[in-house]
Amino acid sequence: MNSDVDSVKDLKIDYEKVVNNVSEAVIILQGDRIISANNPAVKLFSGGRQSPVAGTPLSQFIDMNPLSQLHDRIHQVIYDKLSNNQMKLSITSWEGLMTPVEVLINSIDPSDQTLVQLTLWDLSGQKAIEEKLMQSEKLSVIGKLSAGILHEIKNPLTSIKGFLQLMQKEPVINRNYIDIILGEVNQIEKIAGELLHFSKPKPQSFELQDLTVIAREAMFLFETLALKNQITLDLQSGNSEHLIFGDGTQLRQVFINLIKNAIEASEDGGKVTIVLSSCHSQERVMIHNTGKEIPESLLKKLGKSFITTKENGTGLGLMVSYTIIGNHRGMVTVKSAKGKGTSFLITFPKTQK
């Protein structure tokens, strides 16, 4: 009997030794919010502050965002036995610096549901690689679209040249010509602005975004390509704002990738429809195209890197888009059926103004 007690004690000491020596931060919670114990690595996330006294609420020690979702997930994992026990969060240090982290939620002892272990990984390094990948994927899309975009610039330039030549021949300045020229210059300025804004590398910055504006701007880049392939582009947004909290450039990248795929999958004379809608806690984006369905075997692989059926495809468009959607706490589902075409449905958590 005594030896059993000793071995339990030894195990406890071993457990503490292991936890104290790992580089991941480990926090043991009593319930879903009170700290019961933690290891030294937690200091990295708390801006070097001393270990919390047992009994301190988690929120007073580490500024985790969004905290309410962490509480919800702890409940789902511990009480509802949800199998997905990982989630991404960010931690704001006292200097205001944001660190992306991955949190693993585990029950320490299945017979005692009040003790919960959180293991935290710093994702900053991974984020930097992710950002580089997003940037190179963005430039690759622009490269592929450049023929169409040059066309968008060449058309107004031809018209400007024509009106300037007319003005050269006429003795009096025709104000109508000036208005037309100005209109065309505005068009070129808009295209150049849109491209520059999109291609510039920028650190991730989350602000209030209207999905209607983003969808419209992304569609604008595909007008020529759609016209050339006689594909109708249709945006249905119910004329209302669809607000989410996010990074404008990254969200634009998602729309550009999905619209591009939808146009490429539509046969000539087909239709690409984007429908934006709101439901209680979510903003929804549906991008639908007519054309051939996606085979079941490919459907399962969508979102993995280098999956492509196109001669010049990188197979990165969906992977990058799914990563961005995940960073925005969104979800994607794909539906594809014979005779019905394909729909990508994205849901984002709604934001109030």
Ligand X SMILES: Nc1ncnc2c1ncn2[C@@H]1O[C@H](COP(=O)(O)OP(=O)(O)OP(=O)(O)O)[C@@H](O)[C@H]1O
Interacting residues toward Mg ion by CB under 5 A: 261, 317
Tell me how far apart the alpha carbons of residues 221 and 197 are, in angstroms, rounded to a whole number. Answer: 13
| Shortest spacing between CB 150 and Mg ion, in angstroms | 20
Total residues interacting with ligand X, rule: CB under 6 A: 20
229 touches ligand X by CB under 6 A: no
State the minimum distance, in angstroms, from the CB of residue 352 to Mg ion.
Answer: 33
Chosen from Mg ion, ligand X, none, partner binding at 302 (C-beta under 5 to 8 Å by type): ligand X
Closest to ligand X by CB, 119 vs 323, is: 323
Q: How far apart, in Å, are the Cα atoms of 256 and each of 35, 93, 263, 300, 332?
A: 44, 34, 11, 22, 16
Among 81, 300, 310, 340, binds ligand X (CB under 6 A): 310
Q: What's the burial of 205, exposed, middle or buried (CB within 10 Å: 0-12/13-18/19+)?
A: exposed
| Amino acid at residue number 123 | L
Smallest Cα–Cα separation from 235: which of 220, 246, 257? 220
User: Pick from ligand X, Mg ion, none: which does 307 bind, CB < 5 to 8 A by kind?
Assistant: ligand X
CB of 306 to Mg ion, least distance (A): 12
How far apart CA 306 and CA 313 sit, in angstroms, is: 9
What are the angstrom distances between the C-alpha of 130 and each of 83, 97, 124? 26, 19, 10
Nearer to ligand X, 85 or 314 (CB): 314
Q: Which is nearer to ligand X, 115 or 298 (CB)?
A: 298
Please choose, out of 8-16, 66-74, 209-217, 304-312, the segment that lies near ligand X by the rule CB under 6 A.
Answer: 304-312
Tokens of 66: 């969004």
Q: Check residue 313 for interaction with ligand X (CB under 6 A).
A: yes
**Piece of the chain touching ligand X by CB under 6 A; list 43-51, 165-173, 197-205, 307-315:** 307-315
Residues 261-290 that bind ligand X (CB under 6 A): 261-262, 265, 289
CB of 318 to ligand X, least distance (A): 3
**161 near ligand X, rule: CB under 6 A:** no
318 contacts ligand X (rule: CB under 6 A):
yes
Ranked by CB distance to Mg ion, the top (closest) residue is: 317
Question: Are residues 76 and 93 in contact, defined by beta-carbon separation less than 8 angstroms?
Answer: no
Q: Spell 70-81 as b/e; 16+ CB within 10 A means b.
A: bbebbeebbeee
Judge contact between 287 and 344, C-beta under 8 A: yes
Decide: is 316 part of the binding site for ligand X (CB under 6 A).
yes
Shortest gap between Cβ of 211 and ligand X (angstroms)?
A: 19
The nearer residue to Mg ion, 248 or 317, going by C-beta atoms, is: 317
Q: Rounded distance, CA 148 to CA 136, Å?
A: 20
When the beta carbons of 209 and 261 are compared against ligand X, the nearer one is 261
Spatial distance between the Cα atoms of 225 and 234, rounded to a whole number of angstroms:
14
- For residue 69, CA distances in Å to 20, 106, 142, 194 come to 27, 16, 36, 35
Residue ranges that bind ligand X, judged by CB under 6 A: 257, 261-262, 265, 289, 294, 298, 302, 307-310, 313-319, 342
